[in-house]
Amino acid sequence: MAFAGIDEVTDDTFAAEVLAADGPVLVDFTAAWCPPCRMIAPVLADVAREEADRLRVVQLDVDTNPETQARYGVLSMPTLMVFRGGEPVKSLVGARAKARLLRELADVL
């Protein structure tokens, strides 16, 4: 289900790919059955492409990776969580337009 520029992470790869990353990583907690997740996917692909030098965007399917979902208390999809230095620094719930998403991410980029 991943779009171009968006890597998929799993419970097994989350620590290495997200928590140990050098820069900020936006994690899209998503599910195949979630219509708003499908709506925001192309927006996230654009952001991943346009902000590649400042932000990495990854996707985590909550249905196949319940440990990470539970660890961060993710109850609604899509949840977008930005991690920096191994810690979550921002959390956004729900689909949104690209301009709004970039405004909301400005303080963590």
Q: Is residue 109 part of a domain?
A: no
Q: Is residue 53 part of a domain?
A: yes
3-state secondary structure string across the chain:
CCCCCCEEECCCCHHHHHHCCCCCEEEEEECCCCHHHHHHHHHHHHHHHHCCCCCEEEEEECCCCHHHHHHCCCCCCCEEEEEECCEEEEEEECCCCHHHHHHHHHHHC
Q: Is residue 56 part of a domain?
A: yes
Q: Binning pLDDT at 50, 70 and 90, where does residue 4 land? A: low
Residues forming a β-bridge with 60: 9, 29
In this predicted structure, what is the pLDDT of residue 24? Answer: 97
34 is catalytic: yes
CA angle at 12 for the pair 8 and 13, rounded to the nearest 5°: 50
Q: Is residue 105 part of a domain?
A: no
Rounded mean pLDDT, 19-31: 97
Q: Binning pLDDT at 50, 70 and 90, where does residue 60 land? A: very high
Between 109 and 79, residue with greater pLDDT: 79
Active-site residue among 26, 27, 34, 57? 34
Active-site residue among 6, 9, 37, 60? 37
Range of the domain at 47: 7-97
Ramachandran bin of 2, using left for φ above 0, alpha for ψ from -120 to 50, beta for the remaining angles: beta
Rounded mean pLDDT, 16-29: 97
At 32-41, the pLDDT tens digits run: 999 999 999 9
67 is catalytic: no
Q: Binning pLDDT at 50, 70 and 90, where does residue 2 land? A: low
CATH code, domain with 79: 3.40.30.10
In this predicted structure, what is the pLDDT of residue 101? Answer: 98
Q: Is residue 107 part of a domain?
A: no
Domain count, the chain: 1
Q: Is residue 79 part of a domain?
A: yes
